[in-house]
Structure 1
Amino acid sequence: MTKEKSCGAVIFRKHQDTYQFVLVQQKYGLRFGFPKGHVEQNETETMTAKREVKEETGLDVEIMPNYKERTRYYPRFGVTKDVVYFLAKAKNTELQAQEEEIADAIWVDASEVLSKLSYKTDRKMFLSLSKKAKINI
């Protein structure tokens, strides 16, 4: 079995009286999820998460290393993919979706995130991370 590893981030900002989170819509399949990508040689998990967030959304983020979750899924036969997600605070808020891979990048109110996410593994991870960080959704 082939193993792959990616890292990404659940990016938040405080907006008025609520938290908002960034979701990216993949260009192919138009599914919503969180920004993530493959770990490159000599990168740490946090380096990968920051790089992928910047590439896919244009945002600079502050990674909260004490708040992370791991997910696992099977994208195709014979492949196991592990993804490490960090909670991250946005340093800037203007989104710029990466044209090559991302159809859209949007800010979503915390109460709407679960209904927008396309994958069960992402919903489960988001609930767990939100609970750890004491973010009401």
Structure 2
Amino acid sequence: MRTVEEKSCGAVLYRREGGAVRYLIVRSHSGHISFPKGHMDGDESEKQTARREIAEETGVQVRDFEADFREIFYCTTDEGKYKEIVYLLAKLPDGPVSPADGELTDCWLLSAEEALERISTTREREILQKAAERLGVCR
């Protein structure tokens, strides 16, 4: 098994609106569409990194993460580094969400079906499906 050279953390963020559940999906400057995430700094925990990165990218302040949801995604970066991405699950607080200047190009609140059509990778689509199952949402 390869040695992890980079690690990022983020979250699948959801909001219940009436009877529907919507998920926050973001687009990076490279065009990758997934969930808000970013690199770990120093000795941060996964939750600290996810909170900081979500706030930096979207202005959203996440308080708590759902228990028993932690999904890992491995990939190789454009620079050839082996990267681990950890996704947690959290409720998206009420209020506006917008991409921070310099961080993202777009963000959307989408149904699971809409999000699955846009998300860039198969593994991240699988993570969204697991989150929806965890929330008891049938697709």
**What TM-score, normalized by structure 1, do the two folds share?**
0.89
- Structure 2 CA distance for aligned equivalents of residues 49 and 68 of structure 1: 12
Q: Tell me the residue number matched to 2:124.
A: 122
Aligned counterpart, 1:53: 54
> Contact 1:75/1:81 (CA < 8 Å) preserved in 2?
yes
Residues 112 and 132, structure 2, Cα contact 8 Å, conserved in 1? no
Partner of 1:6: 8
Percentage of identical aligned residues: 29
Structure 1 unaligned residues grouped into runs of 5+ = none
| Cα distance in 1 for residues equivalent to 2:121 and 2:51 | 22
Matched with 2:94 is: 92
CA RMSD of aligned residues (A): 1.7
Aligned length: 136
C-alpha change, 1:57 and 1:69, in structure 2 (3 Å) is same
More strand by share: 1
Structure 2 runs not aligned, ≥5 long = none
Counterpart for residue 31 of structure 1 = 32
Q: Which runs of 4+ in 1 moved over 4 A?
A: none
Name the CA distance, whole Å, in 1 between partners of 2:78 and 2:32.
17
Deviation of the 1:93 alpha carbon: 3.0
State the Cα deviation string for residues 97-122 of structure 1 (Å, max 9, x = none).
11112001111112211111111221
